[in-house]
Structure 1
C-alpha cells in the first residue's frame, strides 16, 4: 500500500530556485511564446505539477524567473474579470499597482538587458495581447487588443523603464485620468460618425 500524504510536497528546498533558473535561461533563449511549461519541467528534471505548485502558472514563473514581478498573472486575471466598461481602468490600475511597487533601479536594469526586454516584449505581444483580445471578443478584437497593448507598453516605457518626468510624476489617479481615454479608445474604438 502506498503512503500518500496531503499537503506540501516533500523534496529539496532548492527545487523552486532550480526551476526559476532553468526557466530564466529558456525564456531568454526562446522567448515567452517559445518556452513551454513542459520544456521547463524537463530541463529542470521535475514534474510540471511542481511548476504549478510553486509558481501558479507559466505567467507566474515568467515574472518570478526574470524578477519581473510587474508581470504578475494574478493582477492580469483580476483585470480581466468584470464588465468590459471598466476594463481600461482595471488595466491601468494593474500596471500602476505592480510597477509602482517595483524598485526604479530594477526597472532601469531591465532596459539595459536586451534579453529581458525581449522576453517582456514577447509577454506583452503574446500573453497580454491574446488575453485582452479573448476578453473583448468580436471580429476586430485582436486589432483593438494590439492598440491597447501599445498604450500600456507606452505607459510602462515612459513611466517606469525610461521615465519621462511629466509621466513618471503622475499619481496613479492621474494616470487613469490622462491615459484612460486613449486606452478606452484603443479597447473599444471610436463610435463611427454618420
Structure 2
C-alpha cells in the first residue's frame, strides 16, 4: 500500500488534525474541559490531546507543556477586566451590587462555566491559579471600592470576592439546585443586596 495513504488513513482513524491554528484552538477547548473535570494536577497532556483529537506532541509544540497550556486556556478570563470595570461603573452607585451580580453571572454563563470550573478546581493544587484569583479579585474589587469612597476597602474587597466566587462554585461546580439552573435575574435579585452592603453599607 502507498505509504502516504497508510499515514493518511492512520491519521483519520486517530482523529488527528493538521498542525495549524485549528490544532491550537482544539487544544485550548479540550484543555478547558479536562481542567474543569479533573483540576490541574490530575489533568494529563495525553488526555487533553486525546480529547482534542491531536498528537500529544502538539501540546509542547504550541504551548511548551501542560503549564503553558493551562496559562493560555484557564488563566484567560472570558472578558477584559478594563472593559468590565467600565461597564460596572456605568450607572448609579446604589445599583453597583446589581451590576456586579448580573455581569459576572452573564459572562460566566456565556463561557459555559468551563473557565470558572477549571480555574477554581485547580486552585488547591496549582499556586498560579490561586494567585490569579487573589490578584484579580483583590485588585479589581479594591479599585472599584476605592472609587466609591468606602472605608475598610480590604475587608469589603474580600467580602465581595467571597460572594462572587462562592456563587460561581455553587452554580458551576457543586451545581446545587435550584441555584444551578436558576435564571440570572432571579439570582441577581437575591444576591445583589449582599454585594451592595459589602460595597457601600455598614459592615462593622
Deviation at 1:137, TM superposition (A): 1.4
The change in CA–CA distance for 1:91 and 1:105 in structure 2 (over 3 A counts) is closer
Query: 2:72 and 2:78 mapped to 1: Cα distance?
Result: 5
Residue 196 of structure 2 aligns with which residue?
184
Following the alignment from structure 1 to structure 2, what is the Cα–Cα distance between the partners of residues 190 and 176? Answer: 21
Q: Which has the higher contact order (CA 8 A, sep 6+)?
A: 2
Greater helix fraction, Structure 1 or Structure 2: 2
CA offset digits 1:39-76 (Å, max 9, x no partner): xxxxxxxxxxxxxxxxxxxxxxx997723315643123
Q: Does 1:123 align with 2:135?
A: yes
Q: Does residue 78 in structure 1 map to residue 90 in structure 2?
A: no
Q: Which runs of 5+ in 2 are unaligned?
A: 1-20, 25-70
User: TM-score under structure 1 normalisation?
Assistant: 0.56
TM-score (norm. length: structure 2) = 0.54
Q: Which runs of no fewer than 5 residues in structure 1 stay unpaired?
A: 1-13, 18-61
- Cα distance, 1:100–1:187 mapped onto 2, change above 3 Å: same
Q: How far apart are 1:146 and its partner, in Å?
A: 2.7
Task: Say which SS state the counterpart of residue 178 (structure 2) adopts.
Answer: helix
Runs of 4+ in structure 1 off by over 6 angstroms are 62-65
Which of 90, 102, 114 matches 2:99? 90
Is 1:173 the counterpart of 2:182? The answer is no
What is the match of residue 69 of structure 1? 78
